[in-house]
Amino acid sequence: MTPIRRRTALALAATFTVGALAACSQGGGTPADGGGESADVDTEAAVTISVGNMPTTENPELRADFERKLEAFTEAYPNITVEPEETEWAADTWNALIAGGTMPNVISAPFTEIQSMIARQQVADVTDYLGESEVFSSLNPSVLAVAQADDRTYAVPTSAWTMGLLYNRDLFEQAGLDPDAPPQTWDEVRTAAQAIQEKTDAQGFLTMTLDNTGGWVLTTMSYAFGSTLQNEDGTEATIVNDATAGVLDYYQQLRWEDITMGSNFLVNYDDAVQLFASGQVGMFVQGADNYTNMVVKNGMDPQHFGVAPLPQQPNGLGTLSGGNLAVFSPTSTPEQLAAAVKWVEFRDFRKYTDEDIAVAEAEAAAADGVAVGEPALPVVDRSVYDQWLSWVEPYINVPRENFDLYLSTVEDVTLVPEPPVKAQELYNTLDSVVQAVLTREDADTDELLQTAQDTFQSALDLG
């Protein structure tokens, strides 16, 4: 029934808000000529903004951290009233937020979505509001480019990640493997999976298969094996290729020859996280920024969490990467945009330029049990990031020594962005390919890839 209700709400909301959105978007942050100039905004005026992504009560540590930042922000900017919301970006609710006019003034969204949001005018141009901030000048230009179109900036990148090979260090030890020397080739992954399967109660390797995650990981693996799945301008599907066929062969070997992939092949993101955090899975391909998810949210022992660079075949293209950005509602007034940008600056960037704030935040976060110093791909310049690390060094509560290989190579890895057009549809189409290979021993991989190619090509042709 959910879709009907949602659609009903959408239909209703759309009717009453399209006009309002169209009208308001003209006033919200429409740029003056040229980039980087300051917007003409009264920053002292009383203003109220709604901000998304407040952690839910199920994550008390993260929520406390958020509330503390909010309190400090309100103290620093008494004219800005912040109304926090738990609203988050999700593929299936985003259009409803837009149509219903309930998008908060600022909310976090993934890298993959920003260009289509810009094209649909669903986010405000904030170029003129960033110019005022010294902090934003430390943003890594290559990361900031993700949020730009026609020399205008429409979002602020707040975090970035690469895919990685997550592995359970404890299971590695049990299986007689060295947790400090994680597999660096896919053959080594296969051998390690066999050892874990044989010597522990856990399954050696896992791949997600549901809710577009099967396709997401297959795309990641295809990059590592040597091919993208659509051409650069997103007009042609290139699913039929040797690299992807190679990945499916690899899956087949692990599933049907080695029997190291368990027995359940309907696994979504949450299932996989729980299986890994509870020690039932030795390795799987996942975002390398999952430390907080596994340890803080799902109770995994910090010493058991391991992350390694994603292995690459000799002609591999690189590692799929992504991240999150703060996007701003086009219905915001200029004052709200200025305030919302200040909030993002305060929440995510002040720590990089102000030692006192960095130390205070890290101390409080560590006291609350929030991870400080977890492995990630920095969104600011390396020197700025290293400076921050040195400031908060006494409060780092993440065993960074366990991620040496990942941390020492993360900036040398070739980053390959997610597919530029209809990524979620591509992933959804590929889900059933992965499911077929894992549930049918006689699955014909060439035929599966050809069907997926035809299906996705017709989706691309629809425009």
Partner 1 sequence: MTTATDVTAPAAVEPVVAPPPRRRRRTPVTWVRHGGLTTLLFFVPLLLSFGYFSWWPILRSLVLSLQQTNFLTSTWVGLANFQRVLADPLLGTAVWNTTYFSLLAVVIGFPIPILTAVFLAEMRRTRGLGSALAYLPVIIPPVVAVLLWKAFYDPSENGLFNTILGWFGVGPIAWLNDPDLVIPSLVLYATWAGFGTGVIIYLATLMTIRTELYEAAEIDGARILRRFWHVTLPQMRGILLIMLLLQLIGTFQTFTEPYIMTGGGPENRSLTILLLIYRYAFVAGDYGRATALSLLLAVALSLLSGLYMWATRRWSTS
What amino acid is encoded at 175 in this protein?
Answer: A
Choose the stretch contacting partner 1; rule: CB under 8 A; options: 15-23, 44-52, 221-229, 369-377. 15-23
- Asked if 8 is part of the footprint of partner 1 (rule: CB under 8 A), the reply reads yes
Does 121 participate in binding partner 1 (rule CB under 8 A)?
A: yes
Residue among 321, 435, 445, 453 that touches partner 1 (CB under 8 A) = 435
Q: DSSP letter string over 323-371?
A: EEEEEE-TT--HHHHHHHHHHHIIIIIHHHH-HHHHHHHHHHHHHHT--
- Residues from 135 through 154 that contact partner 1 (CB under 8 A): none
CB proximity list for 186: less than 8 A, separation 6 or greater = 224, 250, 311, 313
Please give the structure tokens belonging to residue 348: 């995510």
**Identity (one letter) of the amino acid at 212?**
N
Q: How far is the CB of 166 from partner 1 (least distance, A)?
A: 21
If the CB atoms of residues 6 and 297 are measured against partner 1, the closer one turns out to be 6
Per-residue interface string for the shown chain with partner 1, residues 159-198, x marking contact by CB under 8 A:
----------------------------------------
Q: How far is the CB of 306 from partner 1 (least distance, A)?
A: 24
Query: Rounded to the nearest whole angstrom, what is the least distance from the CB of residue 259 to partner 1 in the complex?
Result: 12
Q: Return the residue of 57, 141, 233, 462 that touches partner 1, per CB under 8 A.
A: 462
Among 47, 51, 80, 99, binds partner 1 (CB under 8 A): 99
Helix (H, G, I), strand (E, B) or coil at 210: coil
CA angle (255, 257, 260) in 5-degree steps = 45
**Per CB under 8 A, which of residues 192..231 are in contact with partner 1?**
209-212
Binding characters for partner 1, 404-433, by CB under 8 A (x = yes): ------------------x-xx--x--xx-
- Check binding of 120 to partner 1 (CB under 8 A): yes
Question: How far, in Å, CA of 138 to CA of 352, rounded?
Answer: 9
Angle between helical axes of 355-368 and 382-392 (0-180°, round to 10): 60
Going from the C-alpha of 224 to that of each of 57, 285, 401, the distances in angstroms are 38, 11, 26
Q: Could you tell me the maximum CA-CA distance found in the chain, to the nearest angstrom?
A: 68
Query: 263-322: which residues touch partner 1 (CB under 8 A)?
Result: 263-266, 268
CB of 68 to partner 1, least distance (A): 33
The rounded distance, in Å, linking the Cα atoms of 387 and 280 is 38
How far, in Å, CA of 216 to CA of 210, rounded?
Answer: 10
Kindly write down the DSSP assignment for every residue of 35-73, as one continuous string.
SSPPP---TTS-EEEEE--PPPTT-HHHHHHHHHHHHHH
Give me the 227-266 binding string for partner 1, x by CB under 8 A, dash otherwise: -----------------------------------xxxxx
- Residue 162 or 435 having the CB closest to partner 1: 435
Among candidate residues 354, 353, 357, the one with its CA nearest the CA of residue 384? 353
**Using CB under 8 A as the criterion, what x/- string covers residues 49-88 for binding partner 1?**
----------------------------------------
- Joined tokens for residue 129: 């509001």
Angle between helices 60-76 and 355-368 (to 10 degrees): 150
**CB of residue 249 to partner 1, shortest distance in Å:** 18
Please, is 373 exposed, middle or buried when counting C-beta atoms within 10 Å of its C-beta (0-12, 13-18, 19+)? buried
Total residues at the site for partner 1 (CB under 8 A)?
48
Q: Which stretch binds partner 1 (CB under 8 A): 157-165, 216-224, 396-404, 434-442?
A: 434-442
Position 460 contacts partner 1 (CB under 8 A): no
Interacting span for partner 1 (CB under 8 A) from 70-78, 117-125, 312-320, 363-371 = 117-125
Q: CA neighbours within 13 Å on the CB side: how many for 101?
A: 16
Among 21, 135, 224, 237, binds partner 1 (CB under 8 A): 21
Binding site for partner 1 (CB under 8 A): 1-4, 6-8, 10-12, 14-15, 17-18, 21-22, 91-92, 95, 98-99, 120-122, 209-212, 262-266, 268, 422, 424-425, 428, 431-432, 435-436, 438-440, 455, 459, 462
